Amino acid sequence: MPKLAKQLTDPAARKAIIKPEPYTLASGNGLFLLVLPTGSKQWQVRYRTPEGQRSKKIIGIYPDVSIAQAHVLADGLHQAARMGLEVTGLYDDLKAKRKSTTDAEIEAQRQEQDRLQHCFTVISDRWLDDRRAGWQKATYDKNQFIVRKKLQPGIGNLDVRTMASKDVVDLLREIAAQTPSIAPKARQCINGVIEYCILRGLRGDDQVLRLKGVFPKLKGGHMPAITKYQEIGALMRAIDAYPGRVVRCALLLAAYTALRPGVVASAKWEEMDLEQGEWHIPGKEADGSNRMKTGNDHIVSLPTQALEALKEMQQFAGGPFVFPGVGNRNNPHIHRDALSKALRDMGFAGKHSTHGFRAMLRTVARERLKVDLDVLEAQLAHAKKDQIQSAYDRTDFAEERKSVMQAWADYLDELKVGAQVIQLKQA
C-alpha cells in the first residue's frame, strides 16, 4: 500500500524555496502546493473522473487560501468528481463570472470609462498644458495651484460635458470664504476650462457657465492699491522697517520700477546691468513660456534707489536669482506671494498689494508729476490696445522713462521723509 502524504504545515509552505523550474509539495488527498519560478504558490488538486480519467484543477493561491481551506476545497472537488458533477477550479470560476456580466453592465462600465476621460481633472490638466506656453511662469504656477489644489479636489470627478453652474457655485463660495484673494481667479480658471471644452466640441457654443453673481459680497475685481499720495509715505516707511531683508529689497524694487510681482520675485543677476542702471528682462523663458506678459523683451531703467537695494542683495548672490528663496529651501527664489504676505503683515491687507505699485505709478505719477501717459504705459509694459498700434508703434520712450523713474523714486522718498519731518515739527 503506497505511503500517504502528510498534510503540509504552514512554515513548510511559507518557506518553500523558489527554484528555476516549477515543483510541487504534497499535502495529502490529491492536494499539492505548486511552487512556480515567479514565486507564486498555487493549490492544485489531482482527481479522477467517474470514467477513471486523471485530471487536475487549481483551486486557490497561497497564502490567500490557507492549508485548512485548501483541504476543504479539495474534499468538495473530489466529491463533485465522484458524483459526476461539473468540476470547476479557480480560473473556471473567474471565467464564468466574466461571462455572466450582462450587456447592461458592460455598457455601464463603458460609460463610466468615457466619463472619467472627460472629467474636470483630466480636462483641466489639458487646459493647463495648452495655456502654459502663453503664460509667465508665475502665472502658470498660480493657475496650476488653484486648479489642482482648490478646484480638482471638489469638482474633479464631474463630467465637463454636462457640468452646470450650480455644480460649482458652492465650491467657489467656499474658496471665497477661505481665501478671498484667489476666488476670482478660481472662477476665471473654471471659465477657461469651459471655453477650452467649447472650442474642442465637448460642449455646445451656448453651454457657458453663468457665474457672474457667485460672489455677491466681493466688490470690484481690481488689486488693492494706494493711489492717494497722502498715504504713500506711511507705506514706504513700513517697507523700510520690515525686518526681512530679502523681502524688503524686493518690495522696494517693485515700488521703484512698478513691474509685475512675478517678474520682480524671479529677477536674475544676469539681467542686471548695474553700471548702466538697466534691467534687461527677456520676454520669454528658456522653455518658451512668457516671462513678460506680452512675451516681448523689456528694458527697465533703474533709479539710484533701486540700485542701492540691488547692491544690498549682492551679499546673498550665491545663485542666479537676485532674491533667493527664504523659509522654503526648495524654492530657488522668493515667491511673489511672500511679498503680498509682507504687505498684509504690515497692516495693508485690502489696501495695497504688490501689484498695486503699478496702479500707484500710473495714477499718482500722472496726477502729481504730470508724466505723459504713453511713457507710463511703456514703463508698465502694457500691450498695445489694438493691432495697428501693436504693428506700427514700436516706441519705448527709453530716455524719457529713465528720467521719469528717477523722479518717481525721488518722489517716493520725499513722501516717506516729508511726513516724518512734519510730525517732528508738530511735536
Domains, the chain, ranges and CATH?
10-99 (3.30.160.390), 103-221 (1.10.150.130), 229-426 (1.10.443.10)
Give the residue from 358, 398, 352 showing the smallest Cα distance to 380: 358
Longest CA span, the chain: 121
Give this prediction's pTM.
Answer: 0.52
Alpha helical stretches, state H, 52-89: 67-82
Q: What is the pLDDT at residue 80?
A: 84
CA distance 396 to 400: 9
DSSP lists the bridge partners of residue 42 as 34, 61
Q: Are strands 23-28 and 41-48 parallel, antiparallel or unpaired?
A: unpaired
Q: What is the pLDDT at residue 408?
A: 94
Burial-class residue 189 by CB neighbours within 10 Å (0-12, 13-18, 19+): buried
Total residue length of the chain: 427
Please compute Rg for the chain using Cα positions.
35
Q: What is the pLDDT at residue 216?
A: 59
Alpha helical stretches, state H, 100-224: 103-117, 120-131, 137-145, 152-155, 166-178, 183-199
- What angle, rounded to 10 degrees, do the helices at 137-145 and 120-131 form? 170
The CA distances from residue 326 to 96, 314, 339, 345, in Å, are 62, 15, 11, 16
The CA distances from residue 171 to 10, 166, 168, in Å, are 54, 10, 5
Q: What is the pLDDT at residue 222?
A: 63
Q: What is the pLDDT at residue 217?
A: 52
Q: For 291-326, give the DSSP string.
A: SSTTSS-EEEE--HHHHHHHHHHGGG-SSSBSSB--
Q: Which residue has the cell 452646470?
A: 164
- In tens, the pLDDT along 172-214 reads 999 888 877 788 999 999 999 999 999 999 999 999 999 988 8
Q: For 155-176, give the DSSP string.
A: HTTSBTTT--THHHHHHHHHHH
Task: Report DSSP state, residue 85.
Answer: P
Task: Report DSSP state, residue 28.
Answer: E
258, 361 in Cβ contact below 8 A? yes
Amino acid at 98: R
CA distance 214 to 341: 26
CA distance 199 to 298: 33
Q: What is the pLDDT at residue 220?
A: 45
- In tens, the pLDDT along 224-249 reads 889 898 999 999 999 999 999 999 99
Q: Which residue has the cell 476543504?
A: 72
Q: What is the pLDDT at residue 87?
A: 83
DSSP lists the bridge partners of residue 44 as 32, 58
CA distance 240 to 337: 19
Q: Extract the residue ranges of the chain whose pLDDT is less than 50.
A: 1-2, 218-220, 384-395, 419-427
Amino acid at 273: D
Amino acid at 5: A
405, 411 in Cβ contact below 8 A? no
Half-sphere exposure of 383 (CA within 13 A, CB side): 9
Percent of the chain, pLDDT > 90? 48
> In 3-state terms, what secondary structure has residue 351?
coil
Task: Report DSSP state, residue 321.
Answer: B
Residue 63 CB coordination number (10 Å): 11
Q: For 385-418, give the DSSP string.
A: SSHHHHHH-----HHHHHHHHHHHHHHHHHHHHH
* C-alpha 355: how far from chain center: 22
